[in-house]
Structure 1
Amino acid sequence: MDGGPPRAHQCRPGDAARHPRRTVRWPRARDGAGWAIPVALAVDAVGTGLYLPLSMVYFLTVTDLSEAGVGLLLTAATACSLLLPLLVGRIVDRVGPRPVVIVGQLTQAAGFLLYLGVSGPVSLFLAALVESVGLRVYWSSVFALISEQAEGEAKDEWFARAGMIRAAGTGAGTVLTGVLLALASQDAYRGMVLANATSFVLAAATVALFVRAGRRPAGEPDGQPSDGIRRLLRDRPYLALIGVNTLFNICTVFLAVAVPVYVIRGLGAPGWAVGVFLTITTVAVATGTATVNRRVRRRTSRGGAMAWGGVLWAAWCAAAALAVLLPSGPLLVGYLAFAMLLWGAAEMTHGPAANALSADAAPERSRGTYLAAFQYSFATADMVTPALFGVLYGVNRVLPWAVVGSLALTASLAIRPLERRLTRDAAAGQVSPAVPAG
């Protein structure tokens, strides 16, 4: 059909396989987005790496609260921000993602500045709430900003690089936390809190000055954007995508939740091995995601990449479960280090494809709402995984691995037919009413 959108801007599963020599690039440096968005991502990732461990240590130092008290207040603050993504997505659809990303970064800066005044439970809760709100606003809008800067297959490359930056930044934040713990100085904690707040302000200024706002889609006849929330709630395939991706994300969260307990208490391995395993996965994701994504996408669609990620996660769970057959010692540590590479390969295969598929499956007028709602697949996994692991581990140390591996395979089987439905609906939505759908 000659009346459809230009072929260069269409995105179909398998395009990368038919054009293996196609080069995917970030936007040109002249528009600033090619470096400004990665800088903002890196700053936020480092802040994320610092946030929870630094918050716990800092609040225990400047208040008389117990570990349980600080933990409950931080959890309560996070829970209060869980309803924000849909509201944030609605705002993104009205004003665009760029100003919302800036507000999210400035709000996180304000949260860290409030840390400096914490002295009791009320001030602690307020500081943690502001920081949590900023974090939720940022992650509910930044993927819409990335999607706005790239089209078609370029989204995969953007999201792959975003995953690499996030992994590297989070790892750097964790290392900085370790250094601070070694110093055990309240002045050092305050200095890092102030530096974190300043970095968020600089990141917001970078986005404001160097990232151009994208073209806004035309509104409805009344001049307002379409009602994204109502449309989302009627969009069963996209809601199913959120549900299936929740299963995949349980595998992602399971690494940090299960590995420390299982390795030390379940297998009797030395405590230092956990740090080695987490370092292996961080380095792998931070350095290899773009390359792995590029090669995988030459051979399969986005749904296919997600399915392969689930298979790799299931293999990782099986390998971890079989570790009970090995004696404690160097052989066990080496075996588990190899198993961690399976997790890294799964994360690198699944992550960019999932984000790109969610972006392309979202209607343009409601993309902010859709991508914000997609963040619930991450938030739900964060909430469910600790309880899932705790209950199953209390029955048998191998049972959590069997269940999570089964969830990964279930998601892998579900994603391919779901992808076909999503891409068919997206293609139907791109057909102009003036052009017959031949």
Structure 2
Amino acid sequence: MLTARYDKFCFSIYLQICHVKNDITIFFLFQICFRHSCRTKLIGSLNNKLTDEQKSFIRGTPFGWMVELTESVKISRNLLTPLISRWVERLGGFDMSAQVVGFTYLDVCLGLGLRVVGENIDLNQEGLNSDSRNLFGASQVVDIDMVYDYILKHIKVLCLEDFGKLYVLLAISEFLLPNRNGTIFSILFNIVDDLGSIGKFNWGRVVYEFLVGSICEAKLFLKEKQSTKHFHVAGCVYLLQLWSFDHFLIPNLKDCQRTTKFPRILHWMEMKAGDNVIKRSLTNNTVVADVAASAEELTNPFVKEGFEVYGRQSKGTKIVDLIKAVEQQESVLGELQKELEDLNAMMIERKNQRQHQQGKMNFSDFGEASAGHSQTPNSNHPIGCIEFGNSGDRGHVEEVHFPNQDTQESEQSNMYVRRREGPRLRVKSIAIRTPFAAFSGRKRNK
């Protein structure tokens, strides 16, 4: 039995664990609270204060899409817990009942637009003397709140380069690599000092490994059933929601529209996954095992080199071609449907015309009487004259009712009428001719 409660960034799960011993069932109730620090509150608030010149400068970096983020980008409240419980570390994916669906570098590349090829970043490495770090004095620890306050205080006097360094530092530390204390890894100060070469690093890999490492610890914590009531998941947990939208989470159909926005977070951040949507998507066992890039996304150099390195470009290209073929077939089906509707309307019109013409003909036949035949309004049978007698002398004349053709056809389809008009003659052999089986009223000769 799973029940989820939400309080800010707190996720609660009640696990009812059943132990059976000597035919006695004992229930233990554990409350586990999952928290995270992935948010866009500071960076979203800062985006509202940027000038066009500052936005243009940020867009020139690999993190230019962050100027589009709002303050309300966050993971759905009941999504983190079931995904952690379904994580399979050995296979690097989530158990979605039908199969284990992988969570890979390419999901980070498509979801966040980060490069998954390049120089690796060691977050445990101590940074050397940094100009960005020196802006905060001799403080040993610098957190995201200090950087945000400094930017707001000096936003009008900071040059574009210094502003860009602090902005990228804040965005990475608050959304991509957040931790429980909000502190900033010291190596990041040295990296942002040279914005011109910031794109050479493998940002997708460091974001992926930082998040997956925390997920593995959370799953181990869930298995060991420790007495601690909460666990803090570090990293960009919103990436799990982007992965869910691509693989199994189905929002309202009216929101499911194709988009060319890249990275995909710019499209999915507007979608809200409610509790009912999450519950329905987790129980219907319908998943997309593999996700591919669209033709527009493959034009991005980060996506192109990512698919080349991980050997899925050919597969992705085939899927793109398949999507194009499906769109073309849908267009043809639409045209055929329209033609079918036109033909149907034409058939209905011709049927109405034919019925109208038949009605006129029947009315004309009903109103006219031939010289040798007549028809009364209250009778369905025409009346004719037949002479009985020899050819030499005229015999008597009688009126004979001839059945109408339509009436005759209707009577022919009636079994009772056919038997009434001409009963079937039964012929019995001599062998079975007994006093109890005779056609006529003849009596037995004595």
Please indicate the TM-score interval, normalised by the length of the shorter structure: under 0.3
More strand by share: 2
More helix by share: 1
> Radius of gyration: which is bigger?
2
